[in-house]
Amino acid sequence: MTARDIPPVVVTMGEPSGIGGEITLKAWSLERRSDPFFVIADFDELAREARALGTGIQLRRIERPAEAREVFRDRLPVLHEALTRPVTPGRPDPANAPAVINSIRRAAALVAKGEAAAVVTNPIHKKVLADAGFPYPGHTEFLGELTGTAHPVMMLACPGLRVVPVTVHLPLAEAIACLSEDGIIAAGEVTARALVHDFAIPRPRLAVAALNPHAGEDGILGTEDARIIAPAVARLRQAGIDVFGPAPADSLFHRRARTTYDAVICMYHDQALIPLKTVNFDDGVDVTLGLPIVRTSPDHGTALDIAGKGIARHSSLVAALSLAREITANRARKTLVA
């Protein structure tokens, strides 16, 4: 399979009043000599943003993903998705939520049909989508529903560290209450498979973080580690996965510790994201594991406070594009070998 045989990557709109448009334009400026991508966005709004940046970036409206390859070096290809109302930077409008949601739906469908290689999602504003009736906590759950995936798993990755939270977008008290042996096992199994097929690691090593200080200190600092996490680790090991834990989280993320595993299964959102963003704040990537399609995303939010100012960093989107292409290539090689 040659590079020309692989379809272009599709980038979604994201929250229109955030920095998604800006970082997409900047990423194209950097990536225009690389493998092509196109964006699903409101053409006129993105053209306005391009003019506001003052960089001379040109766009081309396309009707089919296949057209992206022919125009990519000179213009950013745009598959039009009309917004309902004009955009004011930094001020989300729920009236535009249907376009945001539809851009994700269209992107997933294009990848499923083989017209796009992977989907890279720009950041969404979860509260705005919820106010518009969107019933999912985020991209992970929505893409799981769209692809019929029962247990999609969220991974955050940067050079030297991969982390997977078992519970994701929940208040901390609810996350602890929802922690289960089966949930840990599902996250571990999906992660181990993805490390083989998506990251080309033939014998992945997993670490499992403890929930409580000192892994519960024999029960005096909490019983969840012994009652829930340790049995899950034992069952993962019985399934043939190279795994250890529950390991105290305060000693899992220093430089030497990071050489002992390929990914860490964490118990809640911030236990995973704090170390990753400390290690590499600018280049982290969100990857949804377990899907039949490839999906990555920048590991940051909509940044409404700097929207429209031209100062947003695009390195995380560039990293997400790069990882999407890498996973696509790894899956293709695995399929050819099989």
Is 287 contained in some domain? no
26 shares a domain with 101: yes
Is 284 contained in some domain? no
The pLDDT value given to residue 333: 83
User: Using CA atoms, how far apart are residues 219 and 232, in angstroms rounded to an integer?
Assistant: 17
182 shares a domain with 131: no
What's the pLDDT tens digit per position in 194-247?
999 999 999 999 999 999 999 888 889 999 999 999 999 999 999 999 999 999
310 shares a domain with 229: no
pLDDT reading at 165 higher than 80: yes
104 shares a domain with 76: yes
194 shares a domain with 172: yes
For the chain, what is the domain count?
A: 2
268 shares a domain with 328: no
The pLDDT value given to residue 1: 44
Range of the domain at 182: 160-279
The pLDDT value given to residue 336: 53
Is 258 contained in some domain? yes
CATH of the domain at 43: 3.40.718.10
What's the pLDDT tens digit per position in 244-291?
999 999 999 999 999 999 999 999 999 999 999 999 988 999 999 999
Is 131 contained in some domain? yes
140 shares a domain with 12: yes
What's the pLDDT tens digit per position in 57-68?
999 999 999 999
127 shares a domain with 8: yes
